[in-house]
Amino acid sequence: MSVTTHDNAIALRFADRAIAYQALSELKRIASPAAEVRGAVLIERLEDGTVRVPEGLETEAGRNTAVGGLVGSLVGIIGGPLGVLMGWGIGAVIGGGYDYKRVAEATGTVGAFTPHIPPNGTAILAEVREADPEVLDLLAMRYDATLQRRPVDSVRTELKAMEEAAERIRKDEAKEKRNRKRAEAEQKVKSGVATLKQKITG
């Protein structure tokens, strides 16, 4: 009899940072036919709202999922301008020169799978294949963590939509910058011509 499995993206949110590290350590050691952890990363939000990724889980192939795969894509979204839509504050958006309203309009109602973490909060993002959700449900209970679970395919679709929105924003801003420079150059030429005419007629 075949066992039905589900590929899920999970987020575990913790109030205590030290507890989160303990949970990640246990997550790494899971060796159960009911749950296969394909990649995981611990994310910290510092007091000033910035995001730090202190530790990731390497897969058997030796690839650090903090910089690749679904988990890596999620981390990239959180650390970028679109992270503002998932509760990471507006610092990244302002720092990157992005227009917050434009980001919100471009992404519409897309709600990417990312944890809403308060300053000094910590979360684990992971990609798992589950035959029985009880394994991770119990882990969350042991560490008093809030568990969010979403199908991987759904998360990938949302991430793609957000990445496309970010690309549209980048292109729009580049076009506006070119138009602004062109207008400034034209104004300088007009001013120069006007000055020259004044000198000639004067």
First CA to last CA across the chain, in angstroms? 98
Q: Of 74, 163, 54, whose CA–CA distance to 126 is shortest?
A: 74
How high is the pLDDT of residue 56? 58
| Cα–Cα distance for residue pair 78/60, rounded to 1 Å | 25
In contact, 159 and 74? CB cutoff 8 Å: yes
* Residue 90, pLDDT score: 32
**Amino acid letter, residue 103:** V
pLDDT along the chain (202 residues), means of 10: 82 89 90 86 77 58 44 60 41 39 46 60 87 93 92 79 73 85 86 77 67
Cα–Cα distance for residue pair 162/108, rounded to 1 Å:
9
Cα of 5 vs its chain's centroid, Å: 26
pLDDT reported for residue 79: 52
Which pLDDT does position 135 carry in this prediction? Answer: 93
Q: What are the DSSP E strand ranges found in 47-145? A: 51-57, 122-130
* Domain spans, the chain: 6-177
Q: Which pLDDT value is given to residue 141?
A: 96
59: tokens are: 């897969």
Residue whose C-alpha is closest to residue 66's, from 39, 91, 93? 39
CA distances in angstroms from 25 to 15, 78, 187, listed in the order given: 17, 23, 62
Looking at residue 115, what is its pLDDT? 52
Strand order in the sheet with 35-45: 51-57, 35-45, 122-130, 6-14, 146-151
The whole-number pLDDT of residue 76 equals 60
0.75 cut: is pTM over it?
no
